[in-house]
A = this chain, B = another copy of it.
Amino acid sequence: MPINIKNFLLSKNKKSKIGDFQDLEHIDGVAISAISADLYKETRDDLVLFYFRDGANYASVYTQSKIISENIKWNLNLKSNSVKALLVNAGNANAFTGKQGFKGIAQIAEELSKELTIKMSEDEEKKNFVKSNEILFGSTGTIGEKFPAEKIKNSLPDLIKKIKYTQNKYLWMKAALGIMTTDLVPKLSMEECLIGNSEVKIYGIAKGSGMIFPNMATTLGYIFTDADIPSGILKKLLKKNIETTFNAISCDGDTSTNDMVTFFSTKKTKHSKVKSINDNKLKEFDKSLHAVMLNLAKRIAADGEGASKFISVKVRSARNISDAKKVAFSIANSPLVKTAIAGEDPNWGRIIMAIGKAKADLNLNKLAISFGDIKVIEKGQLFSNYEEAVVAEYLQGEKIDLVVDLNVGSKDFTAYTMDLTKQYIEINSDYRS
């Protein structure tokens, strides 16, 4: 049975460890349709179209894996800086599907371009061609299973019929639900800000989930703005902000076969021209984009498979940023740390172990560790007033802050992750059955 979006919005699932969802409303220049193409055993939305009637500038970052999915290959082949549509399917990764998978995309692209062109002619009494090389594809699901190109192709008429040019919170929710795999909750985020005197919006949705360690999940993130930003600057903004957001969660995603984060600019809001990423007018926009991306990234980590707690690992005062990252991820990826937190056990020895193995520059006599505001280690020694019971109580919360102060430099990095629970194993030992 399809999820009843209104009920979902009212349900307790709206609550998240890291705060409620924001309600996304309308953003100019984006049209959305989400339907079921029958790609799952149970009926659910699994095919989502974002249609930019008047085109959108865009920039993408993709997986760094040596084995990439067919849809990513397709996207990498596109030469233009502007697209008309993004089609996302869940239920099949279209990875390791070879020629069949790639051809499937080509056929869908051709069909979709035809159908959208026809629709445009009807709707607007003008020929608004959508070319097949103006369509991006996102895919997520099982790797190595035949890509269901026919099913998707056959669903296109229904998909196109249901395109809505005006969005509301229900439609965005439907889209965010439609791209989920084992995610328990959709991920949405938004900010509004000024470019010059013009108010612009930045909306984003994402999916994540199978990501207890970096490089394991398929992360999809789609961010939309009605501002008018050239694709070159979109690319720079995306690259700059991804390091501390999507690449700071313990699924940095860089290395699944299908990872994809794309930033679209629909150019619908008029503002004075933005000439470079250093343009002062972009300062607020840059901050807002970071907020949207960080919000999405945190939601992905908080909803990591089986997660019962959301964990921030804040590493401070490292010699350099590489050391800060090494230590943060060494802790964030440690199954021993993550199982201890799942068990609400103040086993700080495992944090020490994870710091030690990270091979960063250390001065043990300066090392400090705290859980939230509760000091555990100071100057490399157990804090004099340390009380295990106080930390144990802190660990009963859903949001855990681990703070590691290396005190050997000035560089900070925060990684986001979740605890490692039995549910993770349950989910992953029978993902396909």
Contact = CB atoms under 8 A, between A and B. Distances in A.
B352 A432 contact: no
B340 A428 contact: yes
Interface in A45-98: 64-68, 93, 95-96, 98
Nearest 9 interchain pairs by C-beta:
A143-B349, A343-B429, A67-B356, A339-B428, A255-B357, A144-B349, A65-B356, A422-B422, A422-B425
A312 interface: no
A142 interface: yes
Contacts of A359: 64, 66, 255
Given A143-B353, A256-B353, A256-B357, 6 more contacts: A65-B356, A66-B357, A66-B359, A95-B352, A339-B429, A345-B431
A345 B380 contact: no
Interface string A401-433: 000000000000000000011101110111111
B352 A257 contact: yes
A348 B257 CA distance: 14
A3 B57 CA distance: 70
Interface stretch (A122-130, A208-216, A262-270, A281-289): A208-216
B216 A143 contact: no
A336 interface: yes
A68 B350 CA distance: 13
Contacts of A431: 340, 343, 345, 347
A382 interface: yes
A334 interface: yes
Contact of A429 (B143, B345, B428, B429): B345
Contacts of A256: 353, 357
Nearest to A327: B66
Contacts of A425: 339, 342, 420-422, 424-425
B65 A96 contact: no
A345 B430 contact: yes
A432 B143 contact: no
- Interface footprint category on A: 35 or more
A360 interface: yes
Contact of A142 (B145, B347, B360, B421): B347
Contacts of A68: 356
A194 interface: no
Nearest to A349: B143
B98 A335 contact: no
Interface in A315-349: 334-336, 339-340, 342-343, 345, 347-349
A253 to B, nearest CB: 10
A67 B352 contact: yes
A358 interface: yes
Contacts of A213: 334-335
A390 interface: no
Contact of A340 (B342, B362, B429): B429
A287 B382 CA distance: 46
30 contacts: A65-B353, A65-B357, A66-B355, A66-B358, A67-B352, A67-B353, A67-B355, A67-B356, A68-B356, A95-B349, A96-B352, A98-B381, A142-B349, A213-B334, A215-B357, A255-B356, A256-B357, A257-B352, A257-B356, A335-B335, A335-B428, A336-B428, A339-B424, A339-B425, A343-B429, A345-B429, A345-B430, A345-B431, A345-B432, A420-B425
